[in-house]
């Protein structure tokens, strides 16, 4: 399979071994694209659902990837330690709400689903375990809001029951669905939504990024070797 690694922020991409020394082979719509390893594309497309969707569409349409592996840090809704890895099995968009016209909460129009499925999470977990890496499996909730402690965060947790919350993954999943591409997401816990020191946690997420950087490229390479 032709696999692409899609990050949101450059510091997430730069956690890959040797990434800071790479030169982009092409820049499209302001997004530089790199070859992180032979046959493995990588990019940091920007924060939020629109940036994520633009970048994913380029990966699908311009570069014809078979699978996008979205990777990055995320806020945790439980007590998983900082740096814990979470592999998505399902994904939702918590900021989509057309209930006023009779739709269920979280319904994404055009594709008309409330829940997106990641590609073969058990296969991805097996590949991670083959590297001696453990990861939790669970739901990722995406939205254009940096989730912080409060009523809104509690509503997201009570309504969608995610393990982590972030700002890109489900947008990439939506683009992959429409393009017939496979999608996977691996997130590293950077902070905890209901912790009193959440802000301090987020700005001290070196551990989360370093752990992710060591794991995600070998996973992409293992995926690329699958038929």
Sole residue written with tokens 């499996």: 137
pLDDT at 50: 98
Q: Outline where 68-191 has alpha helix (H).
A: 121-130, 151-160, 169-179
- The CATH number of the structural domain formed by 3-224 is 3.40.50.1580
Which positions ≥6 away from 136 have C-beta within 8 Å? Answer: 80, 84, 85, 86, 87, 163
Domain boundary assignment for the chain: 3-224
Residue 43: its H or E element: strand 40-44
Rounded alpha-carbon distances, angstroms, from residue 150 to 12, 38, 47, 146? 27, 45, 22, 12
Averaged in consecutive runs of 10 residues, what is the pLDDT profile of the chain (227 residues)?
Answer: 97 94 97 97 98 98 98 95 95 98 97 98 97 96 93 96 98 98 96 85 76 94 93
pLDDT at 126: 97
pLDDT at 19: 94
The DSSP result for 172-209, as a single string, is HHHHHHHHT-EEEEEEEEEEETT-TTHHHHHTT-HHHH
Both tokens assigned to 143: 């939205």
- pTM attached to this predicted model: 0.95
pLDDT at 199: 76
Q: What residue ranges in 63-155 does DSSP mark as E strands?
A: 67-76, 85-93, 116-117, 136-142
Alpha-carbon distance 188 to 203, whole Å?
14
Asked whether 163 and 98 are in contact (CB, 8 A), the reply is: no
Alpha-carbon distance 72 to 153, whole Å?
20
Q: How far is CA 160 from the centre of its chain?
A: 17
pLDDT at 77: 95
Task: Output DSSP code: residue 103.
Answer: P
3-state helix, strand, coil in the chain (%, to 5): 35, 30, 35
């Amino acid at each position: 399979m032709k696999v692409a690694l899609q990050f949101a922020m450059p510091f997430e991409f730069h956690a890959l071994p040797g990434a800071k020394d790479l030169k982009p082979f092409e820049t499209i719509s302001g997004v530089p694209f790199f070859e992180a390893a032979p046959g493995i594309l990588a990019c940091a497309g920007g924060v939020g659902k629109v940036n994520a969707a633009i970048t994913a569409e380029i990966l699908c349409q311009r570069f014809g990837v078979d699978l996008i592996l979205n990777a990055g840090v995320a806020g945790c809704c439980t007590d998983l330690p900082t740096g814990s890895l979470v592999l998505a099995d399902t994904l939702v968009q918590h900021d989509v709400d057309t209930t006023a016209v009779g739709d269920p909460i979280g319904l994404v129009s055009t594709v008309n689903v409330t829940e997106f499925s990641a590609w073969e999470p058990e296969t991805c977990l097996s590949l991670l375990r083959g590297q001696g890496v453990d990861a939790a499996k669970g739901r990722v909730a995406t939205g254009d809001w940096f989730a912080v402690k409060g009523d809104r965060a509690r509503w997201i947790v009570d309504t969608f029951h995610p393990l982590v919350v972030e700002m890109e993954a489900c947008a990439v999943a939506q683009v992959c669905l429409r393009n017939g591409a496979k999608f996977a997401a691996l997130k590293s816990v950077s902070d905890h939504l209901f912790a009193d020191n959440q802000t301090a946690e987020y700005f001290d997420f070196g551990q989360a990024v370093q752990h992710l950087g060591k794991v995600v490229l070998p996973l992409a390479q293992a995926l690329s070797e699958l038929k």
